[in-house]
Amino acid sequence: MAQRRRPVSNSAPTLRRRPQLSEDVANHVRHIVMSGEVRPGDFIRLDETAAELGVSVTPVREALLTLRGEGMVELVPHRGYVVSPLTPDDIVDIFWLQGQIAVELVRRAAPKITEDVIAELEKFNASLATAVEKNQAEEVELSEFEFHRVLNRLTGANKLAWFLNNATRYTPTRLYASDPDWGRAAVRNHTDLIDALRVGDVELACSLTRQQFTDGAERLIEHRGA
């Protein structure tokens, strides 16, 4: 296998020292793998990654061990960690799983929708729309998260929501949040979803939820050129 060195990301976050630091590093590596900033066959160097993120080598090593267990990287003896293959089918599978869980959560939330819930959903969707137009990526991420959390918490299905949260670790949210086209599509999808929930059209609400994940997979595959 030819040794390839990954490019240093100019947008790498500076991480603070705290107990979950290795998980923060793992999240960063998941993002650059899923977004295509690094490709299958690229090496993830401990020292380079540590310097890039402003941390010691230890949390990077711990993160790569975790990611090896997830199948995102492989350990090449005497050479280090290399990015594992990631096919378009893999991406479709990841988003299909996320969509299945999200649809079930929406199905369970639908009977519990009230005008107060609708108002909260509209508030976060309005915040999302504003953030998209102002190109505020962090606010886009936050508003999108809060919108879906309203529905997830409404179900009371804590374990199911936990599984969805873990599955969405493989979504490069920063990539989507910085794409105005995706943002506007998300706002439209949310608007239609709110309307469906308001009138109690559960099947339409589920279809719209599934559509957002299908769209996410298609956009990521196109972005990666996979």
pLDDT band at 20 (very low <50, low <70, confident <90, very high): confident
Report the domain count for the chain: 2
Cα→Cα distances 78→29, 43, 65, 75, 81, Å: 21, 12, 15, 9, 10
Of the candidates 189, 201, 198, which has an alpha carbon nearest to the alpha carbon of residue 119?
Answer: 198
CATH no. for residue 207? 1.20.120.530
Asked which of 83, 112, 139 is the last residue of a domain, the reply is: 83
pLDDT in tens, 41-95: 999 999 999 999 999 999 999 999 999 999 999 999 989 999 999 999 999 999 9
Boundaries of domain holding 64: 4-83
Same domain (yes/no): 137, 120: yes
Lowest mean pLDDT, pick from 7-11, 17-21, 30-34: 7-11
- pTM confidence score: 0.85
Average pLDDT on 153-171 reads: 94
Asked which of 83, 105, 121 is the last residue of a domain, the reply is: 83
